[in-house]
Amino acid sequence: MSWFQFATRHRAGIASIVVLVFPHIMPFTALAVNILIYGLYALGFNLVYGYLGLLSFGHAALFGTGAYLCGIAVVHFALPWYLAIAIGVLGGLLMAAMIGVLAIRTRGIYFAMVTMALSQCVYYLFYQAVDWTGGENGLRGINVRAVNILGVKLDFIDPLTRYYVIAAFVIAAFFLLSRILASPFGAVIEAVRENETRAKASGYDVTATRLITFVLSGGFCGLAGALQALHLSIVPIEIMHYDTSGIVVMIALLGGMGTFFGPMIGAAAFLMLENLVAVWTVHWQLIVGAVFMICVLFFPAGIWGTLISRGKR
Amino acid sequence: MKQTRSGSMTRRRLLATVSARAALAVSPFRINLLQAQEANIKIGFPVPLTGPYGTEAQDQVRAAQLAVAQFNDAGGLNGRKAELVVRDDKLNPGEAATRTLELVEKEKVNFVVGSLSAAVQLAINNVTKERGIIFNSISQSDAINEAADFSRFTFHEALNPHLTSGAVGRYAFSKFGKRVAFLTSDYAYGHEMVRGFLEVGKAFNIENLGDIRHPLGTSDFSTLLPRIQALKPDILCISNFGRDQQIVLKQATDFGIKQTTQIIAPLLSHASRVAAGPQAFEGVIGGCSFYWGIEDKFASTKAFNEAFKKMYDGKLPTDYGALGYGGVRTILAAVTNAGSVDTDKVIAAMEALKYDFYKGPQYYRKCDHQSVQSVLVIKSNSKDLRNSSDVFEVIGTDEPNETNLRTCSELGHKA
């Protein structure tokens, strides 16, 4: 068995080890947490974009709904943190189901446009509900000071503890996603991407597969949003903005669409670059833009995608 | 042959990538180690260096650096120097929260001063108050005074919309008539300003002819202006900021609205006025927290202007720049008075502070830590300019007075 086959078989385990040592090689812990969260968000997005082959431009609505519902659960209902996360995931699933039912029949550019339009509707819904979401000022006061895990009280303010608690959820999501992709259903997802007519002829319900995948993606994005709300202790309205939908496309492209680690690598590369360059110069957008262009020109399969194709050779 | 070539390319490329990554990852740590040895008093300063308010933010940094330099030149805290750690919050609350976490957790700053938007300051405030770090906000917001967001670690050096619109309203409603129309940017800043104007308008029995809203970032107001003209207002109150303000004032001038109606704005920004030129702003009345021209009235303003000019090649400070100076200067003064950087002692020293650092007397109100200060009512200058910074004329001053603020119980603070 080559190293490549070994790595593919144990992809979730290897990713978990990387996640564990990650905060020690990052410039600061809050950035490491952001990378995890955006990586998870991109992982969920990649399920639809990379594996199902549909470009959604409305994933900010799923990410944002997870964040807002988790925040609202803590701020307005004083629910414990784990229930708040569960509500965030549920919110992501439900929002994806609603957007999915309306958008899933369209294809290609139309799917991108419809998802974007629907996500803008969601943006204004949350923007207008000032009493619940804080509107323009954002939702504040998602203050979780300590988390109880099986009777052990952990200080959630401590940066490393916060990182590892969030990492635990991200690792669980890794294993779950890996399991989904390795299942027969995972094969159907890719079959639909590769040849829709053939998948249909083989007796698979293409529309249902698409919808279920989109809803699952919403669950992962909702989890990412909920973790983001707990991490930053605020939910800004900007989280619902179409910028947030655009960033995740960039991250997936940079890392490598349709690859398992690609979104994580993409999130790490994108956020690290942005954060480090912004400390040196106010013209950070120029440099980040140039790097992105170079990547698209010379690594069209993304950073991880390129490494994988070299590894297979 | 081809195989080996591509193989070696991969290795080389991989090596280059890995070493670049290593250099990136290692360098911030080294800087951190060097800084830790000196044990400076660190002040985190998150402001939107990039984006639409970049000009104002860079001015804030300059003025804050001046406050730090003055503190260090005076010997610091028994020889312990202060240091400003500037970060770009990109005018995004999420980014601001992340950067504040970096400042607190990695840079181990003693204090945080900064922000240039209501949402951003509330995000920073939520992070700092959870960690018991003093935060002095230097941008406008009404919410930060309210009990839900306030903590004893929260200070607010800037004006708030209630105070600003109150000052401009009291001036304008007593002079130019009772029929008032509003043109408002449709977001928190605009809404809070209109609320403030209507509140103060009650005392003058103003007639509200209507509030026309426009989205943030509107480039053409020509469909809205005739509607306003049809209302025949005595006063047109335009609550927007930055580029929106520049465009609407230019178009209102072209439409001839100024011939029949007095235009007022809650805030006139020095930078916007310079960018748009004198004609668009001619005759427009608005408020501001600071104007360098009050140096004839206050020795502290004169001293601040001179020091700023000396440090930055004859440039004069702007309104928002001055806030950066005030925000940092008050914290460092409190550190000096307390003789320590201990949070509780500095809070007590801040609360006890009666200061006049750049715009006349000020102090922090006990219940909400809002800086009680004067509001200047200004009119744009178009003739006989003394220099390129001579853009406004101060036509009225709301002296510092707690009665102009919302009361502590109104804000939800328990007595």
The distance of B95 to chain A (nearest Cα, Å) reads 9
**Per the domain annotation, does A202 fall within a domain?**
yes
A99 is a domain residue? yes
Per residue in B265-296, pLDDT (tens digit) is 999 988 888 888 888 899 999 999 999 999 99
Supply the range of the domain harboring residue A193. 11-241
pLDDT tens for residues A94-124?
999 999 999 999 988 999 999 999 999 999 9
User: Per-residue pLDDT tens for B155-201?
Assistant: 999 999 999 999 999 999 999 999 999 999 888 788 889 999 999 99
**Residue at A5 is within a domain:** no
- Say if the Cβ atoms of A279 and B87 lie within 8 Å: yes
How far, in Å, are A100, A117, B107, B144, B289 from residue A97 at the CA level? 5, 16, 43, 37, 50
- Give residue B36's pLDDT: 46
Collect all residues of chain B within an 8 Å Cβ-Cβ radius of residue A29. 101, 105-106
Q: What's the complex ipTM?
A: 0.93
Q: From the CA of B49, how many Å to the nearest CA of chain A?
A: 6
Q: Which residues of B touch A237 (CB under 8 A)?
A: 119
Q: Which of A18-22, A168-172, B272-276 has the highest mean pLDDT?
A: A168-172
Q: What percent of chain B has pLDDT over 90?
A: 76
The answer to whether position A188 is within a domain reads yes
| Residues contacting A159, CB < 8 A, separation 6+ | A23, A29, A30, B101, B105
Which helix (H) or strand (E) segment holds residue B101: the answer is helix B93-101
Q: What confidence score (pLDDT) does residue A97 get? A: 98
pLDDT at residue A42, as a whole number:
97
For B5, other C-beta atoms within 10 Å of its C-beta total 9
Beta strands in B72-200 (DSSP E): 82-88, 111-114, 134-137, 154-156, 179-185
pLDDT of residue B9 exceeding 50: no
Mean pLDDT score, B243-260 = 91
Q: Which residues of A are less than 8 Å from B149 in CB distance?
A: 140-141
Q: Which residue has the tokens 């129309």?
A: B181
Closest-CA residue of A relative to B11 is A310
pLDDT over 70 at B345, yes or no = yes
pLDDT tens-digit series, residues A259-281: 888 999 999 999 999 888 888 88
pLDDT recorded at residue B155: 98
With 80 as the cut, is the pLDDT of residue B37 above it? no
Q: For B94, which of A236, A276, A278 is closest by C-beta distance?
A: A236
Is residue A74 scored above 80 in pLDDT?
yes
CB pairs under 8 A between A and B: 101
Picking from A141, A237, A285, the nearest residue to B126 by CB comes out as: A141
A24 → chain B, closest CA residue: B25
pLDDT at B23 > cutoff 80: no
Closest Cα of chain A to B127: distance in Å? 7
Number of domains present in the structure of chain A: 1
* Interchain CB contact of A25 with B (< 8 Å): yes
Sorted by where each starts, the structural domains of chain B and their CATH numbers stand as 36-159+290-373 (3.40.50.2300), 162-288 (3.40.50.2300)
Q: Chain B residues with CB inside 8 Å of A159's CB?
A: 101, 105
The pLDDT, as a whole number, for residue B17 is: 55
Query: A193 in a domain, yes or no?
Result: yes
Give the minimum alpha-carbon distance from B102 to chain A in angstroms, rounded to a whole number: 6
A68 CB burial (10 A radius; 0-12, 13-18, 19+): buried
Q: Per the domain annotation, does A107 fall within a domain?
A: yes
- DSSP secondary structure string for all residues of A77-135: T---HHHHHHHHHHHHHHHHHHHHHHHTT--HHHHHHHHHHHHHHHHHHHHH-HHHH-G
> What pLDDT does residue B26 have?
47
- Whether residue B122 and residue A137 make contact (CB cut-off 8 A), yes or no, is yes
In a domain, A86, yes or no: yes
A173 — pLDDT class (breaks 50, 70, 90): very high
Residue A34: closest C-alpha in chain B = B98
Nearest to A238 among B6, B93, B188 (CB): B93
